[in-house]
Amino acid sequence: MDAVELRCLRIAARQHGVLSRRQVVENGMSSDRLESRTRAGAWQRLFPGVFRVEGAPATWRQKLKAASLWAGEGHALSHATAAALHGFDWFRGTDAIALTTVKNLRAPGVLTHQVSVLQPREVASVECFRVTSVPRTLLDLSATLAPPEVKRLTDEAMRRKWMNVDRFEQLLERHGGSPGVKLLRELVDEYAGGDGPTESALEALVRDLLEQAGLPKPHKQRVVRTRRAVRRIDFHFPGTPVLIEADGFAWHATIDAFERDRQRRNELTLRGFQILQWTWSALRDRPEELLLELCTLLGQYPVAKRAA
């Protein structure tokens, strides 16, 4: 192995085992020799002008890097791919390869989205990949996903502080005619009004069930001061003492957590609140029963009846 090929292999080692024709030529290898290496099976062509070197493990990130080298300037990994790289729970483990580009590109196994302009402020760097920013990723996904999923993704982004309301509003203004903007604007209005994002996917399921049933809209994450501490309530129905707590097993899986939860419930009861505890399995297996219990409790308060 000579110095030219060694330089190329070092580049590939930094790029998940792939490199482009341009990188090969710039490091002194002729096109004829490159074709010879390809014919011999030492290098495998993944995309036009992009090669995987022999022995490099085939991985999803390798495919992403190869697709990025193929797309060149004016691209960003996007949609489900960007969501996975940003760390959205719902897209964990995806093998999707999607990218947005200003060019007219097509390749098997890659979902390409052509745009006239890809603004730098809508592109981020994650793991050395060019990806659409979190707000732009949500905008792209909102055109294809169901509203409940869009809400959960937006909640997660806000909860993890991956974006803020101002940045989100600015992006929606720039893309006023795009599919999904209407729903995202409604979410922005909720967040801007102080009715912040739910703190878990479980709470998102609670919210969705209440909306589908046409029940009064509760306040999320209300702060209540008890004798011992300041408590945050998952859902509170204004004008009533009715609370819903979304309980996931992971939060109560130790003896200490179990004791703290009971102490918290007792403190809220002493303050006069009436608490319904909804679990993941109950939401999945008997949502109608949960709604009946809630309606029975809310029916005792005239304010809740008027709101419905």
The total of structural domains in the chain comes to 3
CA distance 105 to 111: 10
Would you say residue 66 lies in a domain? no
Predicted local confidence at residue 256, as pLDDT: 59
pLDDT tens digits, one per residue of 73-97: 999 999 999 999 999 999 999 999 9
Q: Where are the beta strands (DSSP E) in the chain?
A: 18-20, 43-47, 50-53, 75-77, 98-101, 111-114, 123-126, 129-132, 219-225, 230-236, 242-247, 274-279
- Pick the range with the lowest mean pLDDT from 22-36, 109-123, 131-145: 22-36
144 and 227 inside one domain: no
pLDDT of residue 158: 86
Distance of CA 103 to the CA centre of its chain: 26
Asked if 85 and 182 sit in the same domain, the reply is yes
Contact 97, 65 (CB under 8 A): no
State the CATH number of the domain containing residue 52. Answer: 1.10.10
If pLDDT is split at 50, 70 and 90, which confidence band does 258 have?
low
Query: Which of these ranges, 198-202, 215-219, 283-287, 297-301, has the smallest mean pLDDT?
Result: 198-202
Instruction: Say if 68 falls within a structural domain.
Output: no
Q: Looking at the domain assignment, is residue 136 inside a domain?
A: yes
d(CA 194, CA 196): 5
State yes or no: pLDDT of 113 exceeds 80: yes
Q: Is residue 92 part of a domain?
A: yes
Residue 229 carries which side chain, given as an amino acid letter? Answer: A
According to the model, what pLDDT value does residue 2 have?
Answer: 84
Q: Examine residue 67 and state whether it is found in any structural domain, yes or no.
A: no
Average pLDDT for 143-164 = 89
Same domain membership, residue 127 and residue 97 = yes
Last residue of a domain, one of 197, 213, 247: 197
pLDDT exceeds 50 at position 16:
yes
Task: Say yes or no: 51 and 90 in one domain.
Answer: no
Residues 9 and 79 in one domain: no
As a whole number of angstroms, the distance between CA 4 and CA 90 comes to 44
Residues 185, 139 share a domain: yes
Mean pLDDT value of segment 260-265: 75
**Is 157 within a domain?**
yes
Are 149 and 49 in the same domain? Answer: no
Q: Is residue 193 domain-shared with residue 78, that is, in the same domain?
A: yes
| Domain final position from 197, 228, 258 | 197
pLDDT at position 232 is 78
For residue 134, the enclosing domain spans: 73-197
Q: Are residues 209 and 193 in the same domain?
A: no
* Mean pLDDT along residues 150-162: 89
Residues 295 and 226 in one domain: yes
Given 175, 197, 219, which residue is the final one in a domain?
197
Residue 252: the pLDDT is 43
185 and 221 together in one domain: no
Q: Which of 99-113, 158-172, 223-237, 253-267 has the lowest mean pLDDT?
A: 253-267
Phi, psi of 18 (to 5 degrees): -130, 160
Regarding whether 253 and 215 lie in a shared domain, the answer is yes
Give the pLDDT confidence score for residue 263 in this predicted structure: 79
Look at residue 253 in the predicted model and tell me its pLDDT.
Answer: 43
